[in-house]
Amino acid sequence: MAGVKIFDTTLRDGEQSPGVTLIPEEKLAIAKQLAKMKVNVIEAGFPISSDGDFNAVKMVAENVKGVEVAALARCRKSDIDRAWEAVQHAENPRIHVFIASSPIHLEYKLQMSEDEVLNNAVEAVKYAAQYTDNIEFSAEDASRTGTDFLARLFKAVIDVGAKVINIPDTVGYAVPSEFGQLIKDVKEKTPNIDQAEISVHCHNDLGLAVANSLAAIENGASQVEVSVNGIGERAGNAALEEIVMALYTRQDYYNLDITQDTTQIARLSKLVANSTGITLQANKAIVGANAFAHEAGIHQDGVIKERTTYEIMDAKTIGLDHNKLVLGKHSGRHALKDFLEKYDYELDQESFESFFKRFKDLADKKKNVSNADIIALLDNELYDYEKIYEMEYISVLTGKGLLPTATVRLKKEGEIIQSAACNGDGPVDAIFQTINELTGIEDIKLMSYKIDAVTEGKDALGEAFIAAEIDGKIFTGHSSQTDITEASAAAYIEAINKYLVYTKNK
C-alpha cells in the first residue's frame, strides 16, 4: 500500500506563531517526540534567521535519529551555506529552498519578473546540490500563482536536482476542490514530475488547511507539511494530529498505509502546548479536552452500551489511557522500569534513581499513582537545559486578614541565595515577587497562569503552567507537584531559566 510522507514544521513555521520562543533544548525535546511518533521529516528551523535557530537545527540534526531533518533557506547562497552548516550531520539532511511565485509577491515584494524568479530558483537548487541531493523547492504563494508558471518553474528546478516540489497555500486562500485541481494540473503540466515528489503546505486562514491537504493527497500529493496542534503563522498550518487521524480512521476511504505511531499524539500535543504557551481550545479535534467527552445522556448511554455508537476513534489510539491506576507505594524499581520502558522514556541510571525517589515521595502522599501522575512527574524534566536557578526552599504565609508573604531560597550555580520575606497581592504573587527580587529580573509580565489537577481526587498532583513575557519574548514554565505553591514557583523559575538560556544563546 502506498503512503504519505508526514513533514512536520512545528519547529519552523510553528515557531513563527506570534509570541512563541523556543530554546534549542525545547526544540530538541519536541523533535525527539516527533521522531518517536515516526514522522518522516522534521523541519527544524531557518538557520540564517538567528544564532538560536542555527543552534537548534544543529542540535536536532546531531541528536535525533531515524528521521530526515530539513533546514529552510531563501534562494540565497548565504542562507543555503548556513542551512547546510546546521543540518549536515543529520542521518538524512535536507535543504529546503523557497522563493515566492505569485504575481502579487513578484510585483510588490520581490520586484522581480517570472524569469528572474526562475533563474534565482535554478541557481539556488544548483548551489544546494553541491551539498546534498535531498533538496526540496517551495514556490511560496503557489495557490495564487498560475499553473503555467508553476509548471515551468517546477520543471526547471527538477531538471537541476530538486527531489521534492512543494505547493504551499501560503495565505490560506484555497478551497478544497480548487486546491485538489491545482495539484492535478501541476502534475499534468510538469513534464518531469515523475522525478520528484509533490508536497503541499496549507495554512488555516479560512479553517481549511486540513481539508485542502486531504484534497491534495487525493489528487497526487505524496507529502503533507503539518504542525502539532496546527500552530504556525497567523491561523497556523494543517494540524498533524488531524491529518494523521483522518488518514488512520478513514483508511477505508484513503487506502493509504499509516506508518506513524498514533499513540504518541497526546503526549506530543501536550509537550508542544506547554512549550509554546499556545493552549488548546476544549473542542479542538483529536487533542482538545472535550474531544472524547460525552455530555448528552443519550450519547453517554450509547457509549456505555457500545463505544462505537458515538466514537469514531478510541482515545487509546492517540495515547490517552491516563486514568489507569498503575503503581502504588509498594511498587519497586522493577515496576517503575517496566512502566518507563512501556512508555518509551529513557533515563540513565542516575536520573532513574532520583526519579525513583520522587516517585516514592509521591506514592507516600497518594495511595494510587496513575499513568498521568508518573508522566506528569517525568514531564517536569523534559528539557535537559542549563538550570541557572534551582529552587531549594519555599514558604508562604497567607490567610484572611494577613498580608501574603513568601520566603524563597534558590541555588544559583551551586551557591545558595535567600530572600528576605516579600509581600504580594496574593500568595502566588508574593512568591513571584520574591523570585523577581532574588533573580534581579523585575520586568516580567505574566501572560498566563493556570493551575490544573492532573487526575481526579483531592490528592491529585497540581500542574502549574506559566507564560511570561520577558524582554518582549514569551517564555513558558510548567511543573507538577503535590503542593501548588511549589509547582507555581518551579514553573516561574523554569520560565526565567529559559529566558536566561535564550539570552545567552543570542
What is the DSSP pairing of strand 405-412 with strand 164-169? unpaired
Contact of residue 137 among ligand KIV, Zn ion, none (CB under 5-8 Å per partner type): none
Q: Distance between CA 486 and CA 479 in Å, rounded?
A: 9
Nearest partner of 331 among 304, 373, 364, 298, judged by Cα:
364
Angle subtended by helix axes 240-249 and 265-276, to nearest 10: 170
Binding pattern for the stretch 393-432 against ligand KIV, x by CB under 6 A and - elsewhere: ----------------------------------------
Contact of residue 98 among ligand KIV, Zn ion, none (CB under 5-8 Å per partner type): ligand KIV
Q: Distance between CA 489 and CA 439 in Å, rounded?
A: 13
379 part of the interface to Zn ion, by CB under 5 A: no
Considering only 8, 13, 68, 136, the residue that binds Zn ion (CB under 5 A) is: 13
Q: Provide the minimum distance between the beta carbon of 139 and Zn ion in the complex, in angstroms, as a whole number.
A: 12
**Residue among 137 and 359 whose Cβ is closer to ligand KIV:** 137
Number of residues that bind ligand KIV (CB under 6 A): 9
**Residue among 233 and 379 whose Cβ is closer to Zn ion:** 233
DSSP 227: B
Q: Provide the minimum distance between the beta carbon of 233 and Zn ion in the complex, in angstroms, as a whole number.
A: 5
**Residue among 13 and 26 whose Cβ is closer to Zn ion:** 13
Nearest partner of 276 among 448, 35, 435, judged by Cα:
448
Q: Provide the minimum distance between the beta carbon of 113 and ligand KIV in the complex, in angstroms, as a whole number.
A: 20
Q: What is the Rg, in whole angstroms, of the alpha carbon atoms belonging to the chain? A: 25
Strands, E, within 32-175: which ranges?
41-45, 68-74, 92-100, 135-140, 164-169
Helix (H) or strand (E) holding 278: none
Give the distance from CA 34 to its chain's centroid: 8
Contact of residue 24 among ligand KIV, Zn ion, none (CB under 5-8 Å per partner type): none
Considering only 13, 25, 53, 463, the residue that binds ligand KIV (CB under 6 A) is: 13
Q: Which stretch binds Zn ion (CB under 5 A): 10-18, 149-157, 403-411, 415-423?
A: 10-18
Please enumerate in sequence order all residues whose Cβ is within 8 A of that of 119, keeping only pairs 6 or more positions apart, or say none: none
Binding pattern for the stretch 163-192 against ligand KIV, x by CB under 6 A and - elsewhere: ---x-x-x----------------------
Contact of residue 140 among ligand KIV, Zn ion, none (CB under 5-8 Å per partner type): ligand KIV
Q: Which stretch binds ligand KIV (CB under 6 A): 102-110, 162-170, 327-335, 354-362?
A: 162-170
CB of 424 within 8 A of CB of 449?
no
Q: Which stretch binds Zn ion (CB under 5 A): 13-21, 30-38, 186-194, 210-218?
A: 13-21
Residues of the binding site for Mn(2+): 13, 201, 203, 237
98 part of the interface to ligand KIV, by CB under 6 A: yes
Question: Residue 45, class by beta-carbon neighbours within 10 Å (0-12 exposed, 13-18 middle, 19+ buried)?
Answer: buried
494 part of the interface to Zn ion, by CB under 5 A: no
Find the binding residues for ligand KIV in span 126-145 (CB under 6 A).
138, 140
Contact of residue 93 among ligand KIV, Zn ion, none (CB under 5-8 Å per partner type): none
Please report, for residues 45, 63, 276, 457, the alpha-carbon distance to residue 7 in angstroms, rounded to integers and kept in the order given.
13, 18, 19, 40
CB of 8 within 8 A of CB of 35?
no
Residues of the binding site: 13, 201, 203, 237
Contact of residue 14 among Zn ion, ligand KIV, none (CB under 5-8 Å per partner type): none
Q: Provide the minimum distance between the beta carbon of 138 and ligand KIV in the complex, in angstroms, as a whole number.
A: 4
Considering only 94, 155, 163, 201, the residue that binds ligand KIV (CB under 6 A) is: 201
46: left (phi over 0), alpha (psi -120 to 50) or beta: beta
Strands, E, within 194-247: which ranges?
197-202, 223-226
Please enumerate in sequence order all residues whose Cβ is within 8 A of that of 334, keeping only pairs 6 or more positions apart, or say none: none
Q: Provide the minimum distance between the beta carbon of 100 and ligand KIV in the complex, in angstroms, as a whole number.
A: 8
Q: Provide the minimum distance between the beta carbon of 163 and ligand KIV in the complex, in angstroms, as a whole number.
A: 16
DSSP 109: I
Please report, for residues 117, 147, 278, 380, 457, the alpha-carbon distance to residue 481 in angstroms, rounded to integers and kept in the order given.
55, 56, 22, 9, 14
Binding site for Zn ion (CB under 5 A): 13
Binding site for ligand KIV (CB under 6 A): 13, 98, 138, 140, 166, 168, 170, 201, 203
